[in-house]
Amino acid sequence: MSLENMNRLPNRPLYLTCCLSVFLTMLISGCNTTTDTELIKHPNVLFISLDDMNDWVEPLAGNDMTVTPNLDRFASQGVNFTRNYAPSPGCNPSRSATLTGLHTTSSGMYSNYQEWRNVPELQSVQTIGQHFKSAGYFTAGAGKIFHYGQVDTLGWDDYYPSILNPMPEDDFPEESPANMPPFQYMYNMFDWGPLDITDEETADFETVSYITDQLERDHDKPFFLAAGIYRPHLPWHVPQEYFDRFPLEDIKRPAILENDLDDLGPVAKELIVRGGNYHKHVVEAGEWEKGIQGYLASISYADAMVGHLLDALENSPYADNTIVVIWSDHGWQLGEKQHWRKFALWENVIRTVFMMQVPEGLEAMPDGSARGIATENLTSLLDIYPTLAELSNLSPRNDFDGQSLVGMLANPTEPTERAVITTYDYGSYSVRQGDWHYIRYIDDSEELYNLSQDPEEWYNLAQSPNHTDTKARLAEAIPDNPIDLPEESLIELMVHHVPPYRSKEYFFSEERQEWMKRFE
């Protein structure tokens, strides 16, 4: 432009100032913000993990006492996989399988009493965090993603409180109520009661605050943010306000069938008392209703933490380019079949929370996920990793044991046929297919339930000659050659630990029988 033409521009100093401002804005934007083009191909991911949350949440309609408005809100915005199942009913094997993409039978990672990094089949596997990081993502996490201290040190650019210390100390407050009386070989985890503190003083709030801070920052590349919310894991110690939502006089026990255990085999009956016979102690202490109250309060508290994360995302510049996943590692029982905790293969334990929302405009899914749809198609937590990998255009892996759900996210009501496997320790299996639930234990004892007719799993049909073909068909889904539990991966067992089933030989050994006598 000539000097003569420049002089014709009105308010030349203002014009130059505006040009400089636009240039600086573009420069800053290019340095600190991920481009729209890159986010179309590599979207952000908010990965929210819950702990021990069963189907009592409102989106799964497992209990009419539950209050979970934030999970309900999210279900109305994405796809709710209502028949989703965990790879294992234990935190460590379920999380390891979900985060590596390999089922327990493919890796040998079966128990809470293993160190996943010492499992040979997992030492070279690319975890979900490593995969996103290698693709150029900023990866940050907080709280319990892998099991307790077993953090994936190579998968994160940053972690709160730290890479080697993934869980805030306030997860286990020093001064907490003690409702349950102590009993043999039990520790203070199996307990519940309100705390006279605010949300801001809790550990999960620390975890959530770290992630919300990340959502307020400018990022120069796509991010994978993982929030590990610890509740409703035991102990059920949360602020008083959450207990107040569930008055004891309104608490209802689960439906129980007299003599429900009569048609169970020896391993199933052992699982009920394994580790301390919790149900007996709850009943004798008169704490059944209080225990249920504590669990409901902890679910409500966890839901509030989810709400903080969803609000932070909605108020951030990343709301329109971030995939959100919410999942729990497995479910829980509170007296059904006289069983408390997880560590079993019944429906209440293996069915778990899994919901996903995909924004519009992604290269891998231009129209985004369906909105507010609940699908009854069977899915597994193993499907999360391959689904996110496809949506985010990560380099392909051909060893996933799960399936990508990209097609189902677009058309969740289109029926699919599939069998989903859950493994408890070595050698015990659950197979879910259609209305049927088949269980085969390490000693070959069996259970078979038609959940459309018997949702409480009260009537074991395994010995009925009318269902021989059904059993055989479902059993075909059980792996023929599962990998053994590697001895070198076992941690040193403490006195209250229950040794995992490592093999059939070990299951029937005198060593295991002697150890189990301490829980009688």
pLDDT tens-digit map of 91-104: 999 999 999 999 99
H/E segment holding residue 99 = helix 91-100
Highest mean pLDDT among 22-26, 231-235, 275-279, 514-518: 231-235
Banded pLDDT at 9 (limits 50, 70, 90): very low
Class of domain 41-418 as given by CATH = alpha beta
**Residue for token pair 């069998």:** 419
Q: Tell me the backbone φ, ψ of residue 514, rounded to 5 degrees.
A: -65, -40
Three-state DSSP state, 80: strand
Q: How far apart are the first and last CA of the chain?
A: 93
pLDDT at 74: 98
Specify the pLDDT at position 288: 97
User: d(Cα 87, Cα 104) in Å, to the nearest integer?
Assistant: 7
Mean pLDDT for the chain overall: 90
Catalytic residues: 91, 147
Give the pLDDT band of residue 37 (cuts 50, 70, 90): confident
Q: Please check the confidence at residue 119 and state whether its pLDDT lies above 90.
A: yes
Write out the two tokens for 520.
């009688």
Q: What is the reported pLDDT for 520?
A: 61
Residue type, 228: G
Give residues with Cβ within 8 angstroms of 292, minimum separation 6. 251, 252, 253, 334, 335
Dihedral (CA of 211, 212, 218, 221) sign: positive
pLDDT band at 3 (very low <50, low <70, confident <90, very high): very low
Evaluate the CA torsion angle 451, 452, 453, 454 in order and state its sign.
Answer: positive
Q: Indicate whether 64 pLDDT > 80.
A: yes
Higher pLDDT: 493 or 197? It is 197
Q: Is residue 456 pLDDT above 80, yes or no?
A: yes
Burial 411-447 (b: 16+ CB within 10 A, else e): ebeeeeeebbbbbbbbbbbbbbbeebbbbbbbbebbb
Q: So what's the pLDDT on residue 170?
A: 63
Residue 218: strand, helix, or coil: coil
On the 0-12 / 13-18 / 19+ scale of CB atoms within 10 A, 154 is: middle
Count CB neighbours of 259 within 10 A: 7
The predicted structure's pLDDT at residue 187: 58
User: What pLDDT was estimated at residue 182?
Assistant: 67
The answer to whether 237 touches 193, Cβ cutoff 8 Å, is yes
